[in-house]
Amino acid sequence: MVRVLPRPSAPSTTADPPLQLSPRLLLIDELFLFLMYLSLGLKEEDLADRFNIHPTAVGEIIETWAHFLYALLGAVGIWMSPENIRATMPGVFGQFSDTQVLVDSVEMRCEMPSSFLSQRETFSLYKSHTTLKGMIGVSPHGAVTFVSSLFSGSVSDTELFRQSGIFPLLDKDMAVMVDTGFRIDELVPCKVYRPPFLSKPSELSHDEVLVPEDVARLMMHVEKSTRRIKENKLFDTVIPPTVAGCINQLFVVACLLTNFQNRPRVEARAEEVTVC
């Protein structure tokens, strides 16, 4: 018995139509793409696939919105007057009620530059990686009131403070609260509250021990603001060179957007005020 096999069908002469990319997104979709990039840290290729556009268009959208929001949000004065600071001063600050701003540094990893000199300038011993470093200032009630540009990761906290541009905003009637790395007592015209470097407890009096502990506890306010900024997953990843031209703008926008989060920054209670 002869078994007849079916004749193979002729190959189709018409190829599948190419994937049609969207020529342009609506502005609201461009903003949504930008916020997804900032908040989730998605790769440009991933966003291109999700929004059905070319990866090059994704990069252009990110850079355009970074510059636009930088100009828009940056036009709003965020530095608070001493009168407004006093009006919103949490009771937990007690003897530090003259504090105008709490200052801390923010460090983020970036891809290693090809230049050896650039590698040395951006390498951070603290992070054991090439990094970029910025400084933020936070009011006692938790609002971001100052954002510096980004500097190379090798810069010290003291030098970062010196170059940040915050000096013209300070006067002798104010106090600044900083972390241990900011050795700025001789630089500023105002009082400085700072936890001391580690010392033997036996070398400090009871009052000297309590005050540094209070300052360290209050510095958690600015650390919580820093964590809010780091909730943007872009800064949890290694910053790619594709956004090197607008990384300053991305950092400032991320900092300023924390002032618009829809949740209370300070909760008042019967006996104390705590930062959320």
For residue 3, what pLDDT is reported? 47
For residue 115, what pLDDT is reported? 54
For residue 212, what pLDDT is reported? 58
| Rounded average pLDDT per 10-residue block, the chain, 276 residues | 47 51 83 95 93 94 96 93 93 90 89 56 62 92 93 90 94 91 90 71 41 74 81 84 88 92 48 39
Contact between 175 and 192 (Cβ < 8 Å) = yes
Q: Which residues are bridge partners to 177 per DSSP?
A: 102, 193
Amino acid identity at 31 = L
**In 6-42, which positions are buried (b, 16+ CB within 10 angstroms) versus exposed (e)?**
eeeeeeeeeeeeeeeeeeebeeeebeebbebbbeebb
Tally of CA atoms within 13 A in the half-sphere of 58 that contains its CB: 22
- Pull the structure tokens for residue 146: 């100052």
Contact between 236 and 41 (Cβ < 8 Å) = yes
For residue 123, what pLDDT is reported? 59
For residue 257, what pLDDT is reported? 92
**What are the C-alpha distances in Å from 113 to residues 25, 50, 58, 63, 251?**
33, 30, 23, 21, 19
E-strand stretches of 43-110: 99-109
Contacts of 274 by beta carbon, 8 Å cutoff, 6+ apart:
90, 92, 266, 267
Judge if pTM exceeds 0.85.
no
Contact between 44 and 56 (Cβ < 8 Å) = no
Sign of CA dihedral 246, 219, 167, 78: positive
